[in-house]
Amino acid sequence: MFETINLLGVFIAAVVAFVFGALWYGVLGKAWMKAAGLTKDDVRPDPKTFMTAFICQLVMAFVLAGVIFHTGETTLKTGLISAVLIWLGFVVTTQIVNHRFQGAPWSLTVIDGGHWLGVLLIQGAVIGLFGQVS
């Protein structure tokens, strides 16, 4: 399985998803800080934080490529369907549980959940479009 994963597609999926995150939180940053109960001083990440986030995007894209592989074919359709199912079954459900026990407002769940849905859709689309290595 691993030899058929298109590593260029995985890398590009991670880069585009990382950029999407920067844009998402660039637009929704103030609302996110309010929902998370944070100030500007609380959210001044250093380069290590950005590097960690990017590495996590790479891992996510690689694992998503593996999941998509198991559908039988790597296409735009299977990439998008896999992304939505993973988001619905694992990502947003985990966030809902965590945020409810943390007493966080639903607005935080919507902002963060929307971000991860966008990330997975982007990664699924890129991986699906790049296909598998023959």
pLDDT for 1 equals 67
Residue 134 has pLDDT above 80, yes or no: no
Return the axis-axis angle of helices 106-130 and 7-36, rounded to nearest 10°.
170
Residue 133: band (very low, low, confident or very high) from pLDDT cuts 50, 70, 90: confident
Range with the largest mean pLDDT of 2-6, 44-48, 74-78: 74-78
- Give yes or no for residue 44 having a pLDDT over 90: no
Task: Write out pLDDT tens, residues 76-113.
Answer: 999 999 999 999 999 999 999 999 999 999 999 999 99
pTM of the model: 0.94
Calculate helix-pair angle for 47-69, 7-36, nearest 10 degrees: 120
SS3 45: coil
Dist. CA 95–CA 17, nearest whole Å:
19
DSSP state of 70: T
Q: Say if residue 64's pLDDT is above 90.
A: yes
Secondary structure (DSSP) of 71-104: TSS--HHHHHHHHHHHIIIIIHHHHHHHHHHHT-
Can you tell me the mean pLDDT for 4-18? 96
For the chain, which residues make up each domain, given as ranges?
2-130
Contact between 27 and 111 (Cβ < 8 Å): no
Backbone φ and ψ of 37, nearest 5°: 70, 40
Predicted confidence (pLDDT) at residue 34 exceeds the cutoff of 70 = yes
